[in-house]
Amino acid sequence: MTDPPLPAGPRPWWMDAVIYQIYPRSFCDTSGTGVGDLDGVRRHLDHLVWLGVDGLWLSPIFPSPMADHGYDVSDYCDVEPLFGDMGTVDALIAEAHERDLRVLLDWVPNHSSDQHPWFLESRSSRDNPKRDWYIWVDGTPDQPPTKWKAMFPVGPAWTWDETTRAWYHHRFTPQQPDLNWSNPEVEAAMLDTLRFWLDRGIDGFRMDVIHMIGKDLSRIGPDYADATDPARTHAHLRRIRALLDSYDGDRIAVGEVYILDIDEVAGYIGTGPEGPELHLGFDFVPHYLEWAAEPWRTHLAQAEAALGRRQAWPTWALGSHDIVRIRSRLGSEAKARAAAVLLLGLRGTPFLYAGEELGLEDAVVPPELRQDPAGSRDGCRAPIPWDATPLHGWTSTTPWLPWPPEPDVRNAASLRDDPASIAHLYRRLLATRRDSPALRGGDVTFLPADDTDVLAWERHTVDGDRCIVALNFGSTTRAFAPAGGPWTLAVSTTGTGEATAFTGSLAPDEAVVLRP
Ligand code: GLC
C-alpha cells in the first residue's frame, strides 16, 4: 500500500498504535543470569495490557557477542541463548498476538558482529567469495585510509586486519564492521533475514541507523566526511518497503534515521517521487530540546511542515536505550508527567521506553560497573524493578546493572496500587487516547501563544471529535481559557482521573487533556 493522504482513507494499525520499547537485557530475568530474557518479556505482557499500549519493540534479540549489547549481531536468524531460543520467541509472538499486541524486532542492517560467519569468511582471505561483503581498503598498518572517526568508542573508523593486511571500515566499534550494501548479494542476504522473521509473524522492524546503509565506496578519501550516499539508501529502502508490502497485514519499517534535522529525516518517511520508503521514522531533536514552550512550539511547527510535505505520519519518542531518561533530564516527576501528556497528545505514533511509565530515573553506575562501549548509556538501561522484594521480581542474582533510584517504592507493583501514580497517569492517557478519535488520529492546530509558558493545541477530526492538550512549562500557575468551551478535564498530571469541569488555570508543571 502507499501512504494514504491524511487523515482520510482507512487508517492502518500503526497510525493508531502506541509502541512500548523493551530493552530485553534490562526487562526481567527468569533464568538467573542477571540479564533479562524473552520469558521475562512474556511474564510481563499483562503489564503492557494493563497499561494499554498496542505493541512492543524488542531491542535486538539475536545471537551476539554483546560488544554493543546486541547491536553486534552474529546471526540474524536465531535467538541469543541468554534470551531464549526460537521456541521462546515463537511463544512470545503468539502470546503477544493473543493480547492484540504487535511485535516489532530491531534489525541492525548497517553492520554485523565481527564474529558473524560472513565477516569471518570475509577477513579470511582476499579471494574469499564474501570478501566484498564488507568494506576493505589496502594500506599499511600505520596509516588508516581516512581520518574518519567511529561514533564510539573514540577512535578511527578503520581497523587493521593482519591476516590479509588491509583495513576494514566500521562506523561504530571495531567489533561492528559495516556491511557493504553496494554488493547486491549483501542486500539479497539482508532481505532474506527480513523474510525469515516476517514468515514467523513479526509485524515490523525498527531499523537501526538505517540512513547509513547506502554507501558510495568511491567517496573513501579525504574529500568526504564518510561514505554514506543518501540516494543509495533511498533505493535500498524502496526495495525493503516493497518486500514488506508483499506481505499481508501492514508490516512496518520504523527507521532510526539519526540525523538532528527533521527536514532531512522526513525525506526517508512516507512516499517520495520514486515510491514509498519508511512507514515511520523517529525525530531525535526532542531529545535535546530545552524544556520550555517556545523551543517546542517552534520544533513542532517545523516537524509538522516537514512531514506534511511528504504526507508522512509523525513518530515521537522522549526516551530510549540510548539517552538519559526523560525523568532525569527534566529533573522532577512533575515535569516527567507533563512529558507523558506531550508524548501521548501529539499527532503521530508515540514510542514509550519501558520504565518511563514508572517515572524511573537513570541509575547511578559507578565506573567499575560500567558496561556500555559508548560510556554514557548504562543509566537508562538499569533493570526494571517489578516489585518491592529485595530482587524486585528478578531471579536469583544481582542484575547486570544497578537498580534505578528508589526501587522499593518506584516499582511496577507499588505504582499499580496507587491511583495517583505516574503509571496510572500513563494508563489514563492511553485509555483517553483509545476513546478519542481526535487524540489518536485527528489533525492538530496549535493555539495562539498568548502565554510564554503555556503550549496548547487542539486535535480534531472531520467528524467533529475534539480535544485540547495543554502544558504549563512554567513554575507559576497560569490562566488558560481556550475558546469553544465549556471544557471537561479528561486527564490532568495532578489528578486521579475523575472527569471534572476545567477551572481555567494550570498549576506549575501541570499538563491536561480537555474534552468538550
Ligand atoms: C543505534 C542503537 C544504538 C547502537 C548503535 C549501533 O544508534 O540505538 O544502541 O549502539 O545504533 O548499532
Angle at 215 between CA 210 and CA 220, to 5 degrees: 135
152 and 201 assigned to the same domain: no
pLDDT attached to residue 2? 37
CB neighbour list of residue 240: distance below 8 Å, 6 or more residues apart: 191, 194, 207, 253
Closest CA to 471 of 318, 349, 320: 318
Are 432 and 403 in contact by the 8 Å Cβ rule? The answer is: no
- Indicate which residue's Cα is closest to atom 3 of ligand 1: 322
397 and 255 assigned to the same domain: yes
Domain membership of residue 373 (yes or no) is yes
Helices in 19-162 by DSSP H: which ranges?
24-27, 38-43, 45-51, 86-98, 117-124
- Indicate which residue's Cα is closest to atom 5 of ligand 1: 71
Domain membership of residue 318 (yes or no) is yes
Are 128 and 228 in contact by the 8 Å Cβ rule? The answer is: no
pLDDT tens readout for residues 193-207: 999 999 999 999 999
262 and 323 assigned to the same domain: yes
Identify the CATH number of the domain in which residue 63 sits: 3.20.20.80
- Indicate which residue's Cα is closest to atom 9 of ligand 1: 322
CB neighbour list of residue 350: distance below 8 Å, 6 or more residues apart: 18, 19, 315, 316, 317, 343, 344
Beta-sheet pairing, 204-207 with 454-460: unpaired
Which residues are bridge partners to 458 per DSSP? 445, 468
Mean pLDDT, range 329-340, rounded to an integer: 98
Domain membership of residue 436 (yes or no) is no
pLDDT attached to residue 7? 39
CA 294 to centroid of ligand 1, rounded, Å: 30
**Catalytic residue (choose from 68, 106, 208, 361):** 208
338 and 408 assigned to the same domain: yes
pLDDT tens readout for residues 129-163: 999 999 999 999 999 999 999 999 999 999 999 99
**Catalytic residue (choose from 161, 178, 256, 458):** 256
Q: C-alpha cell of 238?
A: 524502496
In short, whether 71's Cβ falls inside 6 Å of ligand 1 is: yes
Categorize the per-residue pLDDT at 4 as very low, low, confident or very high, splitting at 50, 70 and 90: very low
In short, whether 210's Cβ falls inside 6 Å of ligand 1 is: no
CA 202 to centroid of ligand 1, rounded, Å: 21
150 and 196 assigned to the same domain: no
pLDDT tens readout for residues 77-110: 999 999 999 999 999 999 999 999 999 999 999 9
DSSP 168-232: EE-SS-TTSPBB-TTSHHHHHHHHHHHHHHHHTT--EEEETTGGGS-B-GGG-STT-S--B-HHH
- 256 carries an active-site annotation: yes
CA 381 to centroid of ligand 1, rounded, Å: 13
Query: Which domain does 161 fall in, by range?
Result: 117-169
Domain membership of residue 480 (yes or no) is yes
CA 209 to centroid of ligand 1, rounded, Å: 7
135 and 279 assigned to the same domain: no
- 208 carries an active-site annotation: yes
Cα distance from N-terminal residue to C-terminal residue, the chain:
36
Identify the CATH number of the domain in which residue 504 sits: 2.60.40.1180
The amino acid present at 190, given as its one-letter code, is M
In short, whether 179's Cβ falls inside 6 Å of ligand 1 is: no
CA 206 to centroid of ligand 1, rounded, Å: 11
Average pLDDT, the chain: 96
Out of 114, 322, 323, 324, mutate this one to test ligand 1's pocket (max ligand atoms within 8 Å of CB): namely 322
301 and 405 assigned to the same domain: yes
Domain membership of residue 8 (yes or no) is no
Number of folded domains that form the chain = 3
CB neighbour list of residue 303: distance below 8 Å, 6 or more residues apart: 262, 266, 283, 285, 314
